[in-house]
Structure 1
Amino acid sequence: MSNKQALRELQQRLAQRMQAAREQPQTASWLAVEAGGAPLLFPLRQSSEIFTPVPLKPVPYAKPWLLGVANLRGGLHTVVDLAAFLGLREAGAAPRGEGARLVTVNPDLNINCALLVDKLLGLRGDEQLQPLEGGASDTGSRPKFAGGLWRDGEGRRWQALDLEALARHEQFLRIVA
């Protein structure tokens, strides 16, 4: 029971920090997550709420990375296994452990979608990250939603994802198998 309480408190603190970061227009902030072993950064302004995984209703004839539809606070959201979509894990091997979370895309982007990630790694500010040279300029084989590459103070390399570009990406929108 204490683990559930601790998880709830962590989620509440993250939600409060995300809201506070949204209200500070001068600094860009990031939600740090891990999907398929890859450290990723979501812009706070493009992400919304964080949920523990809930029961899903399957979607027939959908791509394997589209896990189903979930009722999140009374709204229907498609749930995408982000690691499977990015090719970081085989579809169907989605994490179901305690660390897995659903991160919803900001409703302002006009897509009811939640991204399943393996775990939350907290919030990051621009002052904690250094852009890597050539990280965003190597766009030949990179999809448009792949933002810049960053390195934190501990030397960990991060890939930023533009959730707005992801929501408009042709492969992401083409869910029929």
Structure 2
Amino acid sequence: MAKRISLHEFQAGLARRLADTRDNRALALLAVQAGQRNWLVDLTEAGEILAVPPLATVPLAEPWFRGLASVRGNLFGVVDFAAFHGDPSIAPAGQARLLLVGVRHELNCAILVSRALGLRSLDDFEVVSSPAPTEPPWVGDLVRDSLGTPWTRLKVAELLNHPRFLDAAQS
């Protein structure tokens, strides 16, 4: 027979487990590659990551704005994150993935990345330097993992609020 617990004990236990989950999410990072650069996205800022669906092109848009993707009936603007930084465009096939970064901020926005590299812990990295003053505001700290691989922290909110990112119209 199952052990009976009071509603108060159940709620207290549930609250503890939820707090532990939030703490772990705050330390978790999603690792992605966009072009030749490795990026780390806080799991609290990262949305869903999925295979690239068919993209509908948008005329008179910047080359880095790859078009619109339908995800479960919702349209998402897709930005080629490598091309946005001046690197060669990412082919939306093979290991390429869409990262729905705007959902938490109520924006239907996705970034196209070369591939997803899995979850990492913040404890696995050491900060090498702060971003240079010439870097865009969405570029965070430069960190290295135990193998010496360089990674860049992505500040999602700064990216989503930057005028250049928001204006995909071809100039």
TM-score range, shorter chain: 0.7 to 0.9
| Preserved CA contact (<8 Å) 1:70 1:78 | yes
Percent identity of paired positions between Structure 1 and Structure 2 = 35
**Equivalent in the alignment of 1:122:** 118
The aligned counterpart of 1:24 is 22
Runs of 5+ consecutive residues of structure 2 not aligned to the other structure? 1-17
SS in 2 for 1:144: coil
- 1:143 has 2:119 as partner: no
* In 1: Cα distance, 2:35 partner to 2:104 partner: 27
1:83-140 Cα offsets, whole Å, 9 max, x none, are 0001122xxx3223421000101422121111110011111111111111x324x3x2
Q: How does 1:57-96 map to 2 (within 5 A)?
A: 57-89=56-88, 93-96=89-92
Residue 113 (structure 1) aligned with residue 140 (structure 2)? no
Larger radius of gyration: 2
- Partner of residue 102 from structure 1, selected from 98, 101, 104: 98
> What's the Cα RMSD here?
1.7
Unaligned residue ranges in structure 1 (runs of 5+): 1-19
Amino acid at match of 1:157: P
Residue 154 in structure 1 maps to residue 155 in structure 2? no
Instruction: Return the alpha-carbon distance in structure 2 between the equivalents of residues 98 and 123 of structure 1.
Output: 20
* Runs (4+) off by over 3 Å: none
Cα distance in 1 for partners of 2:72, 2:153 equals: 27
1:166 aligns to what SS in structure 2? Answer: helix
Q: 1:4 maps to what in 2?
A: none
> Do structure 1's residue 56 and structure 2's residue 55 form an aligned pair?
yes
In the TM superposition, residue 63 of structure 1 has moved relative to its aligned partner by 0.6
Give the paired residue count: 151
TM-score (norm: length of structure 2):
0.82
